[in-house]
Amino acid sequence: MSAPGDRFSSWLEHQPKARRFLIVLMLAYFTVNALIAAWTHTPTVDEFVQVPMGLYHLRTGKFDLDRRNPPLIKMMTATPVWLSGARLNTDPQWRGNGEGWWMWIFGTRFMRDNEANYFSLFFLARLVVILLGLAGGLCLYAWARQWYGAGAALGTLLLYATCPNLLGHASLATLDIGVTVLVFGGFFVLHQFSQSLRKKWAVLSGILFGAALASKFTALFFLPLVPLLLAIERRPQNRKAWLAWAGSLGWITLSAWLVVNAAYFFHGFPLPSEFMDGIKLKTLDRVRAESPAFFLGLWSNSGWWCYYPIAFLLKSTIPFLLLISAGIFGFLDRKKNAMFMAWIAWIVLPPLWLFYLLFAHFKIDFGIRYLLPALPFLMLVAGNGIRTLLGSRRMEVVLLVLLSWQLLTSLLHAPDHLAYFNESVGGPDRARRLLLDSNLDWGQDLGRLKPYMDEHGIGRIRLGYFGHTDPKLYGISYDFPPPTPEPGIYAISANYLAGYPHAVTYAGDSLVQEVPAGAWIWLDEHKPIARVGSSIYIFKIEPKDLLKSPR
């Protein structure tokens, strides 16, 4: 007698309307959550620059600025901003040489020129990333269904649609979701080619990999896996087979090359000089981080080998981690299954390769967002766990509990998915002692401060905000906090409480106002009276508090 889960999967295979309804329902959940966050979050540190940079590329056809990031996703997110008629001042006095803080100065000029509709422009840009996120969900479902069937594929899609890390970044006009979807799509299509050997799949795979390369240099990490996976899948044994393998790579390479050049409007041959310069600059950044990273209460400019594995464990939902474990054990029980080695190659190898490169050869420890390209593959691993549990009558209750837990977690943390940490951490107040930057505080919560001030009758506040959006756009009256203890009401971002060195570009006549390391850490000696969002802490310092010993 078949298990209920098997019968459910079999029923789904013969009920296309029910499948489509459930797919639409899950993607609608993803869309609504992303839209709410996209509408409410303040422009974060990176998108503050990347949207006006994308507009600069579109308007001028030049790529001399922000060479560390290829232009494709920036131009895609800037396209609706361009069509809306946004203003852009390209005077060299606002962009300098594009290094250091010049890009944020340029972003500040864009903000000044579009103050009336500034937040609406970023909402339009974020819509593009939400659409990319939806495409990634459909791609994941399609591949999971090929591996596991409709039932497990829907469970895998549920993991995707409710994943806090994906939802948090899908609501921002940054590059991370775009490169995640394009890399995953490239491998999905490459797998289709390896099964059918139809040239159109090779060309499409090359287009997707080329688009990923033209979006973020992280995509370079995955290129060595393309010929390797094709060789593992096809196992060429003779000269003819090797020639066919080489010919396939030729079509993929040609397609990718054309896309990269097209993204740079065919500047240079054989590759745009800005593309090559960007790789060189990123390589230097990899071995010499310009800004310190924070990890488990410590600061470092050289990073930690265990940063990304631990960040993944802290910021992934516990149901997701348990289903990954179930997926691994599920296939360990199927060692004689001919699918086992293919599963290892196509699903397990890409995320393991990324983990290895990040913790062994990468010193930019600024957030789990660098791990996002691994998540769809790990969801396929978890999908095998779902399939395994569906095949056992006794374990289906466990599966139902895990998926319900996943959905409830997503609901309870909306719309603050960007700052999500799992239950092992104990909430944002504990999380800020472990990980910072885009893991928790990327400047997304400024818009929540003004309602708090109005509710508590605070007319003016001493504000140390980690971001570049001018608080005055929200109607916030503020002063910068003093470097030495003084009485007053303060709002301080979590990054600054930990001593993060940064700068602001919206302060008066000065283009850049430096915030030195440890500028406002004295406030962390006092107990906050409130937290706004997940990242801004409110302190009320009385004269008597300055006479007491720190807590």
CA distance 112 to 134: 33
Question: Does 3 have pLDDT greater than 60?
Answer: no
Dihedral sign (CA 400, 406, 407, 412) = positive
SS3 string, 132-163, reads HHHHHHHHHHHHHHHHHCHHHHHHHHHHHHCC
Whether the full predicted model's pTM is greater than 0.85, yes or no, is: yes
Question: Does 468 have pLDDT greater than 90?
Answer: yes
Sequence-distant (≥ 6) Cβ neighbours of residue 189 within 8 angstroms = 201, 204, 205, 208
pLDDT at 2: 46
pLDDT at 343: 84
* Element containing residue 217 per DSSP (H, E): none
Question: In this structure, what token pair is assigned to residue 523?
Answer: 């406030």
CA distance 366 to 291: 9
Residues 193-250: tens digit of each pLDDT:
999 989 999 999 999 999 999 999 999 999 999 999 999 888 888 888 889 899 999 9
**Mean pLDDT confidence for 307-336:** 89
Sequence-distant (≥ 6) Cβ neighbours of residue 465 within 8 angstroms = 443, 446, 449, 471, 491, 493, 504, 536
**Mean pLDDT confidence for 140-149:** 95
Q: What residue segments make up the domains of the chain, in order of their start?
A: 4-39+126-419, 41-125, 445-546
Burial string for 438-454 (b: 16+ CB within 10 Å, else e) reads bbbbbbbbbbbbbebbe
CA distance 311 to 351: 15
Question: Does 90 have pLDDT greater than 50?
Answer: yes
> Which of these ranges, 31-40, 50-59, 119-128, 228-237, has the smallest mean pLDDT?
228-237
**Mean pLDDT confidence for 69-83:** 98
CA distance 235 to 475: 64
Helix (H, G, I), strand (E, B) or coil at 298: strand
CA distance 470 to 353: 40
Q: Is the pLDDT higher at 104 or at 508?
A: 104
Question: In this structure, what token pair is assigned to residue 518?
Answer: 């440890």
**Mean pLDDT confidence for 265-289:** 86
Residues 365-403: tens digit of each pLDDT:
889 999 999 999 999 999 999 999 987 778 889 999 999
pLDDT at 334: 58
Overall size of the chain counted in residues = 551
